[in-house]
Structure 1
Amino acid sequence: MLMFMVQTIVRSSLISNYRRSFMAKITLGVTGSVAVQKIPQLIRLLQERGHEIFVVMTEAAGAFGFNDEIESLVGNEHFYDYHITDEATDAITHIYLAQEVDLLAIVPATYNSINKYALGIADDLLGSVVAARTVQMVIAPAMNTFMYQKPVLQHSMRALYEEEVGFIYPATGMLACGYEGIGKLAPLDELVYGIELYLHAGERLKGKKVLVSSGTTRVYLDPIRYIANTSSGKMGYELARQAKLMGADVTLVNGPNQMPKIYGINYVDVETPEQMHQAMLAAFADSDYVFMSAAVSDYKPKEVSDIKIKKSDDELQLELARSIDILKDLGSKKTTQKLIGFAAEDNNHEEHAQNKLSKKNLDYIVLNDLSNFGSDENAVKIIDQQNNIVEVKQAAKAVIAKKIIETVI
């Protein structure tokens, strides 16, 4: 059974907190799946992020009864369906919707529609839009799991992929038909992320390599006990995601955390400071921008037990030694890279951050208060070598990450 490039776009509830100043024009093609019920909310999310939405409904999609709600969201001048009959208007309409926008997204895309588009069949308005398109196209399939797994569908998806059509792959779960398996329309946050990924890929960081470290590290006392910290990995996650949206080739050196993995990013999973050090060194020389946002353990036990340390009535004495200073080592090896460190402080904030910036040969340091550790929001100061300070007030970490990258580049 051919399962063509079945992948899952990242799941992230944080994306709803992110707002873009950029406005894009998006033609949203809607075909006849029960997942049409999710389209009004998708439109709202895209509009909240500043995008202008044009909707083209097929006859099968219209049968689900959401036309009035969708039309009320986009306005009647932005709503089109299969009822358009005037040939002149139809000709102008399908060319405009296919060539004068920034992206064509088919959500949801049925078994029938994907196979039609792969064959070049244009027997309705949306098919004509697909046939005439000169812009990036992205498809989000939604169907019964047995239909999704059919070789003919996978062949059609592969053919479209070879024409540089993007895919936001379906999720696995209980389907509307009562079966369980792959075929569910991707969650709304994945749809928004996927649409913006294909919309903005190759823009500000096109051709650049970005290296990010994220999460905590663990130093072991014995085979099952370790010392770590409460870093969630959220800031590194958002830095990687925003860099990817700007078109960068992103590598994320990922310490232990609970964040879902991001589609299209190169992951190197690590656990200990030594593993993180080696992974960062391996990618450092070829990187253009390096964001060291991981919270690396500063100390490690001088002695590690090969067997589990048994509980006793006596106190346990731990003797700790300094762990590797990854950021300082990278700073000593820096050539053309821009190196960005992070400082979480609870007193004398700017003084400590500026000392770290100087001693570790950084280009920028991002200062935040320790109280934001592990939270969904943050407030930071971005400081450069000339002591210029860009202050970013409390906001979602996605917003903070975007501002950090924009300041650095």
Structure 2
Amino acid sequence: MTTLYLFGSAAPPVADVAKVIEDAQARGFDVCLGLTPTAARWLDSQLGQLERLTGHPVRSDYKMPGEPDVWPKADVILFAPATFNSINSWALGLTHDFVVGVVAEGIGKQIPTVAMPCVNAAYVQHRQFERSVEELREMGVTVLYGEGGFIPNQPGQGRPEGYPWHLALDAAERIVTPGP
């Protein structure tokens, strides 16, 4: 079975992560769920259910030195939804959050990685965001942003139900099962 690390930041689509896990499992993925600390707080009442669903602990913190890894090795990482803060932190190498640390290290370990932001149109006016997306792409990350990926809404007009999860899972699946 192919191991997918599914990572999420605190953006409204993270509330649908149980459905996404089920979709990923139906595609043949063994899913390990990692969340930023804020996303973990948002989903606090569901963490037990999510652990049962994946069969793995949900992680949002770094392990202590000497503690064994509790997840199998990743074949592919999907970071979605990835917030403005997470995208910029990752591109700049600021690894204060567990999931950002794993994806940053994943570049060096050459773990195929897909990211799909979830940001509003006001955030993307900040020049660092476009720089960060480009930097991640240059490091080999598949960033689903713009045509064929996530397209920002105006502030306050987000539609979490319209977040294109299927595009993110399709991209992760393509990476691990390349076509002819």
The counterpart of 2:126, out of the listed 144, 150, 165, is 150
Aligned to 2:177: 200
Q: Distance in 2 between matches of 1:63 and 1:179?
A: 23
Change (3 A) 1:117 1:185: farther
Is residue 54 of structure 2 the alignment partner of residue 74 of structure 1? Answer: yes
- Write out aligned runs for 1:16-27 (5 A): 23-27=1-5
Pick from 78, 82, 86 the counterpart of residue 113 of structure 1. 86
For residues 65 and 10 of structure 2, the distance between their equivalents in structure 1, rounded to whole angstroms, comes to 24
Greater helix percent: which structure?
2
C-alpha contact (below 8 Å) 1:30/1:106 kept by paired residues = yes
Inter-partner Cα distance in structure 1 for 2:140 and 2:63: 31
Change (3 A) 1:171 1:50: same
* Aligned counterpart, 1:187: 164
Letter of the structure 2 residue corresponding to residue 122 of structure 1: T
Question: What is the alpha-carbon distance in structure 1 between the residues aligned to residue 142 and residue 63 of structure 2?
Answer: 30
* TM-score, normalised by the number of residues in structure 2: 0.82
How far off its partner does 1:185 sit?
6.7
* Structure 2: distance between partners of 1:199 and 1:110: 25
Question: For the structure 1 residues 116 and 93, does the alpha-carbon distance in structure 2 shift closer, same or farther, using more than 3 Å as the test?
Answer: farther
Secondary structure of the 2:59 match is strand
Identity %: 23
Q: Tell me how far apart the structure 2 counterparts of residues 165 and 79 of structure 1 sit (CA, whole Å).
A: 23
Residues 1:165 and 2:141 are matched in the alignment:
yes
Q: Which runs of 5+ in 2 are unaligned?
A: none
- Which residue type is aligned with residue 18 of structure 2? P
| Closer/same/farther in 2, CA of residues 70 and 185 from structure 1, 3 Å limit | farther
| Number of residue-to-residue matches in the alignment | 172
What letter corresponds to residue 104 of structure 1 in structure 2? I
Which digits, 9 at most, give the CA deviation of each residue in 1:261-300, with x for residues without a partner? Answer: xxxxxxxxxxxxxxxxxxxxxxxxxxxxxxxxxxxxxxxx
- Identify if the C-alpha distance between structure 1 residues 184 and 116 changes in structure 2 by more than 3 Å, giving closer, same or farther: farther
Task: State the TM-score, normalizing by the size of structure 1.
Answer: 0.38
Q: Which runs of 5+ in 1 are unaligned?
A: 1-22, 202-245, 249-409
User: 1:57 corresponds to which letter in structure 2?
Assistant: L
Compared CA separation, residues 118 and 189, structure 1 to 2 (3 A): same
SS at match of 1:178: coil
Q: Normalized per residue, which structure has more strand?
A: 1
**Larger Rg over CA atoms:** 1
- The residue that corresponds to 1:57 in the other structure is 35
Letter in 1 for 2:54: V
Relative to structure 1, the CA distance from residue 190 to residue 136 in structure 2 (aligned partners, 3 Å threshold; closer, same or farther) is same
Larger RCO (CA within 8 A; separation ≥ 6): 2
Asked if 2 retains the 8 angstrom alpha-carbon contact of 1:115 and 1:153, the reply is: yes
Please identify runs of 4+ aligned residues in structure 1 that moved more than 4 A: 172-175
Counterpart CA distance in 1 for 2:120 and 2:42 is 17
In 1, Cα distance between the equivalents of 2:143 and 2:152?
19
Matched, 1:44 2:22: yes
Letter in 2 for 1:32: A
Distance verdict in 2 for CA 1:104–1:85, change over 3 Å:
closer
CA contact (8 A) 1:30 1:58 kept: yes
